[in-house]
Amino acid sequence: MLKFHWFLPTASDGRSLTVGTRGTHGPGHDAYLAADPGADRFRAPGIRYLNQIAQAAEHMGFDGILTPTGTWCEDAWLTCAALAQETERLRFLVAFRPGFISPTLAAQMAATFQRISRGRLLLNIVTGGEADEQARFGDHLSKAARYERTGEFLTVLRGAWSGEPFTFKGEHYDVRGATVMAPPDPIPELFCGGSSAEAGPIAARHVDTYLTWGEPPEQVAQKLDWIRGLAAEQGRTMRFGTRFHVVARDTSAQAWAAAERLLAGMDSEHVARVQTTLAASQSTGQARMCSLHADYRESARTSDLEIYPNVWAGVGLLRGGAGTALVGSHQEVADRIAEYASLGIDEFILSGFPHLEEAYWVGEGVLPRLAHLGQAGAR
């Protein structure tokens, strides 16, 4: 059975991609507002609004919700701990960077979270691909060294959860008798992504679910085969997940109109500045995302943003990270999800702009169709 997760926008939310993720407006946003005076400018990530989104996701039948990490986000651990008290079933996929805290402390935090949430914690390991972001937290290791550290971190994390004092000495960590008051029950599932040569072996050796951003099926299939091979070398099998935005409506025409509206008022100079920033990223996955809309940046033809039927690369013009969306009628989006599931994808992390309203569009329109196909649980 497939699992579906929603996304918690702890940086900002809104109806336009021209709304900056730090609560500022990109160039062209005034034109967007002039074209649609009723559009909202910016939704601050206050706890009451985030609670609305979490409760909507739970009500719509999503299994969990991903909470991001980074300078411009609210802290994922604290936010999810608060929201766990306002929900009953929803699981919290907490993203965090392993190099910024002790692995023994992370084991303790996770064990406590499991107890206060009644076993609803999942962990998304983010090694980090932005040098400036890492430096803000005092981390100046090279990319290769960061992945080495992540491997050691996860070794200690699992060791501390084992129920026995765990001792480890490596290049980055030296712990003696690492343990927690009581092992978490259940042990949190570990998720991570990464498209680089450094990332693959770490994922294959340590985590339960490997994540990939939404690329055309052929590219996703190649990546999954790569990770499967690495996991087999470790005597392991893995689950796989993917991350997509979604624009689903009653008809295909309505969906594509809504997708184009997300870019209303887009300024070409602002796009160029965003792309220059993203090009400096050390993330292989980010480079792959940027390549998906390269044809559009050369041609300016909107048709070049549909890189595969119902797969749209428009989000990546103005946002880093996951840059593609599934766009179409509810049935078309369900069919495309089924296609990715046929490749071996088990978990889908979805989102939309704004996240509150789009949770209902997907929950009411797409998930029931997948349930009818036997690929999602009924709400």
For the chain, report the end-to-end CA distance as a whole number of angstroms.
14
Neighbours of 39 (CB within 10 A): 18
The pLDDT tens digits for 328-359 are 999 999 999 999 999 999 999 999 999 999 99
Of 107 and 30, the structure prediction assigns the larger pLDDT to 107
Tell me the C-alpha to C-alpha distance, in Å, between residue 29 and each of 34, 217, 278, 320, 327.
9, 33, 21, 18, 23
pLDDT for 24: 38
pLDDT-based confidence at 40, cuts 50/70/90?
low
As a whole number of angstroms, the distance between CA 341 and CA 240 comes to 9
Alpha helices in the chain (DSSP H): 29-35, 47-59, 76-84, 103-117, 131-136, 143-160, 199-206, 217-233, 252-262, 268-279, 284-292, 294-299, 330-342, 355-365, 367-372
Point out the least confidently predicted range of 45-54, 107-116, 131-140, 256-265.
131-140
Answer whether residue 124 shows pLDDT above 70: yes
pLDDT-based confidence at 42, cuts 50/70/90?
confident
- The count of C-alpha atoms lying within 13 angstroms of the C-alpha of 27, restricted to the half-sphere facing its C-beta, is 8
Collapsing DSSP to helix, strand or coil, 93 comes out as: strand
As a whole number of angstroms, the distance between CA 324 and CA 321 comes to 9
Query: Biggest alpha carbon distance in the chain?
Result: 63
Q: Helix 330-342 to helix 355-365 angle, to the nearest 10 degrees?
A: 80
Contact, 355 vs 6, CB < 8 A?
yes
pLDDT for 318: 87
pLDDT for 29: 45
